[in-house]
Amino acid sequence: MGVTGIWIGIIFAVYSGTRVLTAPFIGRLSDSKGRKPLLSAGLILSVLASLGYIWASNPGQLVLVRFVHGAAGGMIYPIAMSYIGDLSAEGKEGTWMGYFNAIVFTAFGFGPLLGGVLSENFGITVTFATMSGLGFLALLLVGVMLPESKLQQITDKPRIPFRAIASSSMIQGLFSYRLTVEAGWGVYVSFISILAGFRLGLGAFQIGILFATNVLLMSLLMIPFGKIADKVNKKPMIIASGLAAAASLAAMPFAPSFWHLLALNIFAGIVSAAEFPSSSALAVAEGRRFGMASTIAVVTMATSAGMVVGPLMGGAVMDTMDVNTVFYSAAGIITLGVILFFCLTRRNRVDV
């Protein structure tokens, strides 16, 4: 569509912006009314939004489709994660979040790879039609196979206001960390194709390999790192992996070839896999105090807000400076997130 850097940022950001608006409301509703109906409704919206990408013919229409798709995302991911939180045994949150995130990131890794193959061989229309078909398959599986969470466990607890949830120093730390770290990764997701395609001249399939390698490696390592997170102090794992992720993003503009950039993506996948189960497990532990879906919705809201801030910031930096500076900015904001997490949670003792 010939859009500028700031339009790229808006198109990526509006999806997450809608998730910010919908996730808290959906989380609270899910804790009181049940998980399955809202999850099914989100999948229906996702199927329709996937077809909407085929219809969109200008940036304004694409933003509208992203808005609908973001509403669907705000219903799907937090509720799916809450299902796992409901099932997790105390002290095993890292293990179960490792399993859950491994599945999520496996799918997220195969998506760009499959999309690159379909786009290059059959065109972009087939890519989005396939996406819609996969969403419909998920809807059928949820309808036929997925039981409702035990409403007794959900509704017996008194409703805790979001103000009380926000007063938790651990929630404050996780919110700040996820907001800034996801802003950094929002830049990566939005602009790695610009860095790889325009500066290194890589094709869609090679860019798909970069995405897939990063995310599939994360998915393979989520389970062992999740089990490790249940046995060690989670906070040092989060801090160390966050700093390492920032270093990998800062190094990407210096990569002279596809293979160097691939190596940095592999490193980024490893350190991200070390962090994700630990932070998710801390969120589940807080969810037992405040309501699972409500708490996870708050953390998800931070994740989505970061994915708004990152692409918009990256688009503005790219239009005023260059794509290299975009990645330096991403590294800086992730480092800020690590510092905020350390400062806000320094009095919280988390051994296991």
Instruction: Measure Cα distances from 300 to 22, 75, 166, 167, 303 in Å.
Output: 10, 11, 13, 17, 5
Residue 294 belongs to a domain = yes
Residue 350 belongs to a domain = no
Residue 244 belongs to a domain = yes
Q: How many residues can be counted in the chain?
A: 352
The identity of residue 292, as a single letter, is: M
**% pLDDT > 90, the chain:** 12
Cβ density class 28-40: b for 16+ within 10 Å, e for less: bbbbeebbbebbb
Please tell me the predicted confidence (pLDDT) of residue 160.
63
- Per the model's pLDDT, the better-predicted residue between 224 and 157 turns out to be 224
Please tell me the predicted confidence (pLDDT) of residue 339.
92
Kindly report, residue by residue over 73-92, the tens digit of the pLDDT: 888 888 888 888 777 777 77
The identity of residue 240, as a single letter, is: A
Kindly report, residue by residue over 313-345, the tens digit of the pLDDT: 887 888 888 878 888 988 998 999 999 999 888
pLDDT (mean) for 59-77: 88
pLDDT (mean) for 295-299: 78
Kindly report, residue by residue over 226-258, the tens digit of the pLDDT: 888 788 788 888 899 889 989 998 998 888 888
Q: Does pTM top 0.75 for this prediction? A: no
Kindly report, residue by residue over 32-57, the tens digit of the pLDDT: 777 888 889 999 999 999 999 998 88
The identity of residue 27, as a single letter, is: G
pLDDT (mean) for 272-294: 79
Q: Which of 200-204, 215-219, 249-253, 302-306 has the highest mean pLDDT?
A: 249-253
Residue 310 belongs to a domain = yes
Residue 127 belongs to a domain = yes
| Residue span of the structural domain in which 43 resides | 5-345
Please tell me the predicted confidence (pLDDT) of residue 5.
67
DSSP 223-273: HHHHHHHTTS-HHHHHHHHHHHHHHHHHHGGG--SHHHHHHHHHHHHHHHH
Counted domains in the chain: 1
Residue 352 belongs to a domain = no
pLDDT at position 270 over 80: yes
Q: Which residues lie below 8 Å from residue 249, measured CB to CB, with a gap of 6+?
A: 184, 187, 188, 268, 327, 330, 331, 334
- Tokens coding 234: 């989670």
Instruction: Using alpha carbons, select from 277, 280, 300 the residue that is nearest to residue 221.
Output: 277
Kindly report, residue by residue over 114-171, the tens digit of the pLDDT: 887 888 888 889 999 999 999 999 999 998 888 776 644 444 455 666 676 777 788 8
pLDDT at position 3 over 90: no
3-state secondary structure of 168: coil
CATH of the domain at 150: 1.20.1250.20
Instruction: Measure Cα distances from 32 to 150, 158, 166, 201 in Å.
Output: 11, 10, 19, 51
